[in-house]
Copies of this chain bind each other. A is one copy, B any other.
């Protein structure tokens, strides 16, 4: 199918569909109606049908959706059906947490290398992978394939390392540093701004508290 026909909003929702379909597969469910999926995902029945209609031919009246087919198709669209080599920058707690990400292999993500500048971490094994000196980054990337670099280091260093990565040909970055990386347009960046997430929560909690106080709870 032609991805161009699938709108950005639908694409943004695809990972969540994938996650739910994976759970259904794990439970041995082979088919599901839009209504059941709607109840499960807390999304309207009509949105489910509209979104999944973009992939044409998966919904059958009276049958619903074939879980495996939909799962595979969405997986292909998301690029999960191919191997993606990941390198991790930063072997601190966050880097180590991400190195052990259990969903990776099933979705084609392979952690190939971990880099740090701290002598205490260099040489340490993290889930079987030995932490390398980040001074060797360019040398490593000149002889190894890497699709995605995950950045978990402080922001000042993150900006510098991001430029080094891009110079070596890295085209996709998963960024946990508390900053926006300013990189060429052909480099895709997925930011995980934990500070912004927590600030959003603070706002929502504050609004809920106001509601409770106003209703005299």
A interface residues (Cβ-Cβ under 8 A, vs B) = 3, 11-12, 14-16, 18-19, 41-42, 77-80, 84, 92-94, 96-98, 100-101, 103, 107-109, 147-148, 171-172, 174, 178, 180, 182, 186, 188, 190, 192-209, 211-212
Contacts and interface: CB of A to CB of B under 8 A. Distances in A.
B190 A11 contact: no
Contacts of A79: 202-203, 205-206
A12 B193 CA distance: 13
Contacts of A18: 199
A197 B174 contact: yes
A108 to B, nearest CB: 8
B78 A171 contact: no
Given A14-B199, A192-B197, 15 more contacts: A14-B203, A15-B200, A16-B196, A19-B178, A41-B180, A42-B182, A79-B206, A93-B94, A98-B194, A101-B195, A103-B195, A171-B212, A186-B208, A188-B205, A190-B197
Total identical chains:
2
A67 to B, nearest CB: 18
A19 B109 CA distance: 31
Contacts of A12: 200
A72 to B, nearest CB: 14
A105 to B, nearest CB: 12
A94 B102 CA distance: 13
Contacts of A182: 42
Given A94-B97, A178-B19, A77 B203 contact: yes
A198 B174 contact: yes
Closest 10 CB pairs of A and B: A79-B206, A93-B97, A15-B196, A190-B201, A15-B199, A172-B205, A94-B97, A188-B204, A79-B202, A93-B96
